[in-house]
Structure 1
């Protein structure tokens, strides 16, 4: 039996979250191919986060050309629109969608950080939420793998008081003990597609799709499709000024879905929230998009950033 060729980004985070997938596919033989040149990961000439697909183009090209059979993606970093010839064939069970605070000094939270504290992030979404929740906080722009950012935080002479990163990232790195606070989604709204690992195949490769489908979680797929509907309708991507999530609600035999989305200006001074609940996740997502549009959300992304957001 020919092994399944699995492609994943070569970052420590990516490899740690891909290893359990290889184990779960056993006894199907697999071989891992790490990709080092993703535009968003490069140490030099790193691609800006102002466009769609900066973490996925290299792997998708290899998938289309037949060099690999399966691509492993963090869904939030995957292209908003499916690439022609490719499909998201399986969604793994979702992890914790919340962001978290990691601090230089133990025992702190967003509420107890001192006035003027320096918090590092490269995310427009996080920076905007912090400006709204704690306008006194200074935002330091910092990109790179979470492990690299942690080294900067912990380094001697560091002027950074804390980082805001994904909770699931810290857990996948085995560093949950470093989390100072798991931040409520009401304070920092997660990115659409947060904490979901998706497996992508060629659309016509039914044999591979059958082999990986046993890893698929239907509930996660429903939430993922609702969130990607918001992205597509509102014109978002991984670092656009747009956030949101879908949650599944069970009450007896009745299942409903709540979709929340938040659009904000890049300077973090204005945010518009919408939330709807319904029995169909995708229809509920469309209703949220309509409500955001009615409230003027489509114009917020065009607001030029001010000095305070840099």
Structure 2
């Protein structure tokens, strides 16, 4: 209950980046409701614990969210802060996204080994090893840079940077999300920003999503004040696209989105793991009375039906139609093959 002198418990992963993100959300809420006390509750998720297996092979969709959602269900925490790209498109029963904050740069970036003479992937010599834990990144980049070798790299951002800079390490560069690099204060380490033409970003990348219980109206009202209109629309379209395709860490699916004067536009694609096969497309949806709605309405409460329904449904339609278009162009066999190739012989317990 978010009343005078009340306490709200906030769930977060233990990684430095997760803590930075969660503390940022808390700081914004404290400015809105200074009388509320916020208690940080940290925990390790499956994705944090299993570091010797590629993310795509762990066989679990909620790699970085499950433990947090269990705590939310048990009312051990009142809300949890996620990188939206980690949050599955279908939430557990009784859970909702209470807020989607303004998105940072959703692109990926190249970080070269410290002291490297190279500044971009195109300049690296054939056989240079690029570290990434994402099938989405490696599949697209294999297609565009077939002369390079892509190898899995696990661990939090600090660990990955340390592995990269190890003078005896194998990596010439690693690929990370610009948003994470920025939040960690490492912008000066970026050698190259990857544009959508070479590597489209993950669904929800760059945005923070705050999850809470559906029936907790007071917390929902508080969180809704952090909604960012354009980010909500873009991520609703992106997540709708992914939901229809049933993708995740085990499938290379990528997007790029734009809110226009008239509505919303979405580009998306599906790749085989080796990058040799792909299907991509574009879809746009025009909102009725879009000018008035986009300029004058403010969005509050994504799950409490407080967002203007026609616009929100239009964004969801945009993603769904694009997914259906890709399926009609042959996406399903590529998805099926990718899922089969990424499954472990024995699931991690």
TM range (shorter): over 0.9
CA distance in 2, matches of 1:46, 1:7: 25
Q: Secondary structure at the match of 2:46?
A: coil
Equivalent position of 2:94 in the other structure: 85
Equivalent position of 1:295 in the other structure: 329
Which of 70, 73, 88 does residue 64 from structure 1 map onto?
A: 73
Equivalent position of 1:174 in the other structure: 185
How far the C-alpha of 1:239 sits from its partner, in A, is 4.1
How far the C-alpha of 1:106 sits from its partner, in A, is 4.9
Q: Secondary structure at the match of 1:180?
A: strand
Equivalent position of 2:345 in the other structure: none
Scaled by the length of structure 1, the TM-score of the pair is 0.92
How far the C-alpha of 1:117 sits from its partner, in A, is 1.2
Equivalent position of 2:141 in the other structure: 130
Per-residue CA deviations over 1:87-137 (Å, capped at 9, x if unaligned) read 001000011110000001155112212222110112111111111001010
Residues 44, 244 of structure 1: alpha-carbon distance in 2 compared, 3 angstrom cutoff? closer
Could you tell me which runs of 5 or more consecutive residues in structure 1 were left unpaired when the two chains were aligned: none
How far the C-alpha of 1:302 sits from its partner, in A, is 2.5
Which of 75, 82, 85 does residue 76 from structure 1 map onto?
A: 85
Which of 12, 17, 29 does residue 13 from structure 1 map onto?
A: 17
Equivalent position of 1:258 in the other structure: 265
Q: Secondary structure at the match of 1:272?
A: strand
Which deviates more from structure 2 when the two are superposed, residues 210-219 or residues 124-133? 210-219
How far the C-alpha of 1:157 sits from its partner, in A, is 1.2
Equivalent position of 1:188 in the other structure: 199
How far the C-alpha of 1:46 sits from its partner, in A, is 6.3
How far the C-alpha of 1:238 sits from its partner, in A, is 3.6
CA distance in 2, matches of 1:256, 1:10: 38
RMSD: 1.7
CA distance in 1, matches of 2:55, 2:126: 30
Residues 155, 47 of structure 1: alpha-carbon distance in 2 compared, 3 angstrom cutoff? closer
Residues 212, 9 of structure 1: alpha-carbon distance in 2 compared, 3 angstrom cutoff? same
Instruction: Note if contact 2:54-2:154 (Cα within 8 Å) is conserved in structure 1.
Output: no
How far the C-alpha of 1:229 sits from its partner, in A, is 0.7
Equivalent position of 1:29 in the other structure: 37
Task: After TM superposition, list the pairs within 5 Å mapping 1:270-285 onto structure 2.
Answer: 270-279=277-286, 280-285=314-319
* Displaced runs of 4 or more, over 4 A: 43-48
| Equivalent pairs, count | 301
CA distance in 2, matches of 1:244, 1:53: 20
How far the C-alpha of 1:161 sits from its partner, in A, is 0.4
Q: Secondary structure at the match of 2:205?
A: coil
CA distance in 2, matches of 1:61, 1:189: 32
Task: After TM superposition, list the pairs within 5 Å mapping 1:93-242 onto structure 2.
Answer: 93-104=102-113, 105-242=116-253
Could you tell me which runs of 5 or more consecutive residues in structure 2 were left unpaired when the two chains were aligned: 287-313, 342-349
Equivalent position of 2:294 in the other structure: none
CA distance in 2, matches of 1:130, 1:289: 22
Scaled by the length of structure 2, the TM-score of the pair is 0.82
Instruction: Note if contact 1:85-1:204 (Cα within 8 Å) is conserved in structure 2.
Output: yes
Residues 30, 13 of structure 1: alpha-carbon distance in 2 compared, 3 angstrom cutoff? same
Per-residue CA deviations over 1:224-246 (Å, capped at 9, x if unaligned) read 11111111111112442211132
CA distance in 1, matches of 2:164, 2:134: 17
CA distance in 2, matches of 1:48, 1:165: 15
